[in-house]
Structure 1
């Protein structure tokens, strides 16, 4: 009897343990069904629906304007072993170099402006106003003196005139020679003269001479004019060229010829056949037939070549008989 009770007692304990074990397994399964370990128990009779979360429609973030920073394009070195070439982005504000006017202004103390020929050189203003040219007897130093040497070459005849020259015609373009900032061509107007200018009287007319340039009073200023024949000065510019006229030596500077007269220098007319290295500004290039001369007043210069160098010869012009 005792054995039967023990057996029943064991069976009951076993059943209770099994039931407890099954209940534990079911509890664990329900916890897993809840998801995410949250321990949510869903009812077995149906599906539990969560409420839909309503978010504001078309919610847009404010636009942010960020500066467009573009990195410079980098061209890697090629196979030729050259260094890295960096192409920087173009900045339109710093590349407006070609937008310049056609007129160039130079402000480094050497300003040259076309038009009225206003020139500023080394701070000294030079104003050429052709409208203020004065009437002057240009023939005083433009009439050519005849040379004593006989011409071996026949003259060039055209339009009723004969043009005598000792050297053959050799054309080269007229390129005015620059004698420096203190020299001015005929017709050049200045409001005032330098303190170095001196007064020279020639046949009851007064001229002003300064560093190789002759001036005559004109409209509240002074105008550069041809040097008057007979005008005498104590000094001439150191750059004067010594030229041989066939009889005596002359000194040539800026289109003017001087002859030594004791301790002074006297202005003389050009002598036919005289060769000079350069011609100043103010000449006129004229074409006569097949020959092109450079004319100053009534003096004609023929382009020639002497010892392989381009020069000019004073031409004797005569009316054809």
Structure 2
């Protein structure tokens, strides 16, 4: 009995100790829970361990924002201010042309179409000022062609209702204007004053001025080179005039003008069909008629030919093909 009693006492004591430990543990646990949950009141909720929101730049004014376009952004320079723009193609071309012209001493004025033509003659550079703004239809006042008495051996070239006669076979070579020297000037050349050697020539009640192969007419406070008027008679012509055979008489050709001996004088005459000349002056235009290229100088057509091993031009007779 004594052993049983001792066992019961020991068991009771052990239970008492276990109970005490259990109560202490529960109390400690309750205090810990109470202290941690006191911030949220009676009901304990675990605070959300929230991560700082990494906002998209520019959202709500927070986060790493992209610089404002109008404030701190390193903007692309404007074309009108700081941008190193590529030069326009047309401007670049004009600058290159201007630079090239300056290098060649060629001055052009695009506003009034006045230019200086530089031509090298025997190593000498000569300026010739041609003012196209003063043109007064001088190109339409040239003469028609005189028909030759010689019968053409070859058939004419027909195109567009016209017949084009030539003694020599057609032989194309490019039109290259010829320059007769510093005292000669092409049609359209303008001067404010004339040399003291100029003379007055009256043709059909119209006064012209002649000087060293040039024919001038009054124009806008000055004088302009015009086609030589048929019938105009002078005492002499330049020594560089070419003698040409028209088939009947000899003519004298200088600067695009034909002269015929008239006693001791020289009279301006129309070009004669079939006449060959070595050169044509500035003022002509290469025109294509069908398969043939002619040079139209004033109202006269010239056919490129090759005679005696040289490139020449032949005066063409043009008739309506009826």
Say whether the fold is shared (TM-score over 0.5).
yes
Cα distance in 1 between the residues matched to 2:126 and 2:164: 41
Q: Which residue of the partner structure matches residue 106 of structure 2?
A: 112
Shift of 1:194: 1.3
Cα distance in 2 between the residues matched to 1:228 and 1:120: 28
Cα distance in 2 between the residues matched to 1:123 and 1:289: 39
Higher helix share: 2
TM-score with structure 1 setting the length: 0.64
Q: Unaligned 5+ residue runs, structure 1?
A: 1-97
Shift of 1:124: 8.1
Q: Unaligned 5+ residue runs, structure 2?
A: 1-95
TM-score with structure 2 setting the length: 0.64
Q: Which residue of the partner structure matches residue 253 of structure 2?
A: 252
The answer on whether the counterparts of 2:184 and 2:214 sit within 8 Å (CA) in structure 1 is: yes
Structure 2 counterparts to residues 200-211 of structure 1, below 5 A: 200-211=201-212
Q: Which residue of the partner structure matches residue 129 of structure 2?
A: 127
Cα distance in 1 between the residues matched to 2:243 and 2:172: 24
Confirm whether residue 302 of structure 1 aligns to residue 303 of structure 2.
Answer: yes
Q: Which residue of the partner structure matches residue 270 of structure 2?
A: 269
Q: Which residue of the partner structure matches residue 101 of structure 1?
A: 99
Cα distance in 1 between the residues matched to 2:274 and 2:181: 27
Aligned residues: 218
Q: Which residue of the partner structure matches residue 157 of structure 1?
A: 158
Cα distance in 1 between the residues matched to 2:158 and 2:229: 31
Shift of 1:240: 0.2
The answer on whether the counterparts of 2:143 and 2:230 sit within 8 Å (CA) in structure 1 is: no
Confirm whether residue 185 of structure 1 aligns to residue 186 of structure 2.
Answer: yes
Q: Which residue of the partner structure matches residue 238 of structure 2?
A: 237
Q: Which residue of the partner structure matches residue 143 of structure 1?
A: 144
Cα distance in 1 between the residues matched to 2:118 and 2:201: 28
